[in-house]
């Protein structure tokens, strides 16, 4: 049976580096499950793998779309599984890596059979969003399903709209529906997680944001102002700079908000990952020997 190795962990913890090491070890390729790195215009703010990293191991679903493209999680699941099967034709192992937890789950375990969007619900929610703001959608979701509210990307209106719509249609919590077992995959799944003490994680996130700014994050965001209302750009690192560019915030405050919101996102990832089963955990400062022991068991 073929094997999918999925690398999980909070943002900035070192997943890309680990994925490349493992892919080299098994002479295989990498599938990205980072939904922000799909978009070619968002290289810096998403910490997309560098040209050197992309050259070291073949990556899929990195910079393959434009921010103007519509791409659902269902489409991603289908496309990613097709690509994995193609790689399995020649390799016995594939590496999956990314920080978008639902996208990782879609490939590793499968999505649940959720209802399609209800037009009436969507219109009602769009109206609430435009007239009362994102905070109102967050408030509605928290009242309906606090468990999912605690892990969802709260700044992404589409995630909020989708969850509320499904809850309204089914009368069941989104977290309950997505926890229902799905059809079994035809590959073995090994999850390897990276973890670090909270203070180390936060320090790495702060340093990562500083590095993004050195690499030209402000200039990248300036090129995307005309697209700022599109869903891919409703995300940390971009929404804050847009507020600086439109005069709402000063630059230093916007940078601190990026760091704060990145730390919040990392906490949500931690909350999600604590509930994921059958994970082999590595410390962030793992040695070659530590990794070798884990890989020898796969």
Question: Please, what sign has the CA dihedral across residues 263, 268, 274, 279?
Answer: negative
Task: For residue 59, report the phi and psi dihedrals to the nearest 5 degrees.
Answer: -110, 150
Distance CA 23, CA 296 (A): 14
| Measured distance CA(99)–CA(52) in Å, rounded | 21
User: Does 116 show up as a binding residue in the annotation?
Assistant: no
Distance spanning both ends of the chain, measured CA to CA: 12
Q: Which of 40, 15, 22 is nearest to 99 (CA)?
A: 15
Q: 98 among the known binding-site residues?
A: no
Q: Could you please report the per-residue DSSP string of 152-170?
A: S-TT-HHHHHHHHHHHHHH
| Nearby residues of 65 by Cβ (< 8 Å), 6 or more positions away | 38, 39, 40, 71
- 9 has binding-site annotation: yes
Contacts (Cβ under 8 Å, ≥6 apart) of 192: 5, 6, 7, 8, 18, 22, 279, 280, 281, 282, 294
Residue 13 assigned to a binding site: yes
Nearest alpha carbon to residue 94 among 189, 161, 11, 230? 189
At residue 152's C-alpha, the angle toward residues 148 and 158, to 5°, is 115
Known binding residue 239? Answer is no
* d(C-alpha 180, C-alpha 298), whole Å: 27
User: 182 a known binding residue?
Assistant: no
| Binding-site positions for substrate | 11-16
Binding residues: 9-16
**Binding annotation for ATP:** 9-16
């Amino acid at each position: 049976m073929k094997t999918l190795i999925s690398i999980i962990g909070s943002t900035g913890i070192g997943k890309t580096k680990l994925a490349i090491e493992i892919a080299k070890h098994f002479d295989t390729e990498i599938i990205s499950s980072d939904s922000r790195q799909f978009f070619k215009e968002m290289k810096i703010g998403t910490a997309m793998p560098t040209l050197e990293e992309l050259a070291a191991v073949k990556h899929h679903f990195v910079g393959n779309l434009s921010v103007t493209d519509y791409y659902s999680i269902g489409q991603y699941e289908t496309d990613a599984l097709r690509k994995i099967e193609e790689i399995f034709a020649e390799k016995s192992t594939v590496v999956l890596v990314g920080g978008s937890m639902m996208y990782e789950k879609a490939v590793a375990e499968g999505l649940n059979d959720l209802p399609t969007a209800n037009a009436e619900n969507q219109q009602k929610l769009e109206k609430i969003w435009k007239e009362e703001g994102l905070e109102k959608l967050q408030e509605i979701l928290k009242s309906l399903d606090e468990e999912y509210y605690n892990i969802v990307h709260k700044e992404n209106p589409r995630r909020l709209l989708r969850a509320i719509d499904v809850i309204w249609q089914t009368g069941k919590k989104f977290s309950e529906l997505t926890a229902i077992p799905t059809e079994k995959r035809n590959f073995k799944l090994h999850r390897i997680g990276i973890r670090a003490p909270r203070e180390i994680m936060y320090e790495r996130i702060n340093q990562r944001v500083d590095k993004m700014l050195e690499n030209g994050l402000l200039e990248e965001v300036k090129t995307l102002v005309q697209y700022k209302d599109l869903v891919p750009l409703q995300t940390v690192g971009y929404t804050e700079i847009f507020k600086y560019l439109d005069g709402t915030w000063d630059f230093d405050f916007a940078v601190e908000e990026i760091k704060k919101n990145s730390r919040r996102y990392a906490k949500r990832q931690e909350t999600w990952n604590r509930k994921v089963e059958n994970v082999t955990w590595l410390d962030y400062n793992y040695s070659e020997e530590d990794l070798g022991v884990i890989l020898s068991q796969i």
